[in-house]
């Protein structure tokens, strides 16, 4: 009887352990897929959102003071060059996420001393095709998310139009070695 209870207890503990490990491993990926579905994000398609209101769900729990742009990327077709003209007098940021929702890169207006943002994402060990002088990053996964945020403090000024222009200036292109 004690042997059966011990075996049953070990089986239950093993089940809890495997459930916990499965939850830790798969739940973030399910969240990522859910966000991709909710946003309507097709891979390698850049989407610009309007300024959010109380009904907006372009991104999960959006801040109403930010304009958002997203792109779910896939590096299997080649490296990506991400560019934007960020010559605005407002805060902006770009963040990169893995499919398990881990943020692995952030750049913002406070850290960049240039009017042009450029980033090169690649999947190979060494990429000789990367443009010179551009920050290069090799993500741990070939798929992920690029999220741009632009702070909007007043929608009635010319500064707002400039922020919208910065949002529209974002380019994400697949590059090929020639």
Q: Is residue 116 assigned to a domain?
A: yes
**Nearest to 168, CA basis, from 64, 75, 49:** 49
Number of structural domains in the chain: 1
Q: Is residue 38 assigned to a domain?
A: no
What pLDDT shows up at residue 131? 82
CA distance 91 to 106: 13
CATH code at 51?
2.60.40.1610
Report residue 134 CA to chain centroid gap.
19
Q: Is residue 17 assigned to a domain?
A: no
Hey, what are 11's tokens?
């089986």
Q: Does the pLDDT of residue 103 top 90, yes or no?
A: yes
Q: Is residue 143 assigned to a domain?
A: yes
Q: Are 142 and 74 in contact, with CB atoms under 8 Å apart?
A: yes
- Of 3-7, 51-55, 101-105, 133-137, which gets the smallest average pLDDT? 3-7
Q: Is residue 101 assigned to a domain?
A: yes
Q: pLDDT for 58-82, tens place per residue?
A: 566 778 889 999 888 989 888 999 9
Domain of 56 in residue numbering reads as 46-174
Q: Is residue 87 assigned to a domain?
A: yes
What pLDDT shows up at residue 58? 59
């Amino acid at each position: 009887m004690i042997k059966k209870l011990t075996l049953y207890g070990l089986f239950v503990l093993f089940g809890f352990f495997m459930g916990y490990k499965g939850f830790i491993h798969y739940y973030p990926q399910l969240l990522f897929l859910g966000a991709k579905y909710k946003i309507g994000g097709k891979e390698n398609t850049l989407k610009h959102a309007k300024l959010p209101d109380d009904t907006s769900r372009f991104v999960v729990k959006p801040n109403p003071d930010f304009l958002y742009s997203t792109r779910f990327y896939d590096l299997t077709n080649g490296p990506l060059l991400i560019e934007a003209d960020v010559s605005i007098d407002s805060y902006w940021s770009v963040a990169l996420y893995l499919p398990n929702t881990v943020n692995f890169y952030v750049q913002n207006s406070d850290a960049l001393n240039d009017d042009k943002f450029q980033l090169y994402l690649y999947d190979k060990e060494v990429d000789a095709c990367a443009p010179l002088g551009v920050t290069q990053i090799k993500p741990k996964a070939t798929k992920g998310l690029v999220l741009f945020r632009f702070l909007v403090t007043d929608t009635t000024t010319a500064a707002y139009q400039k922020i919208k222009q910065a949002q529209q200036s974002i380019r994400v292109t697949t590059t090929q070695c020639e």
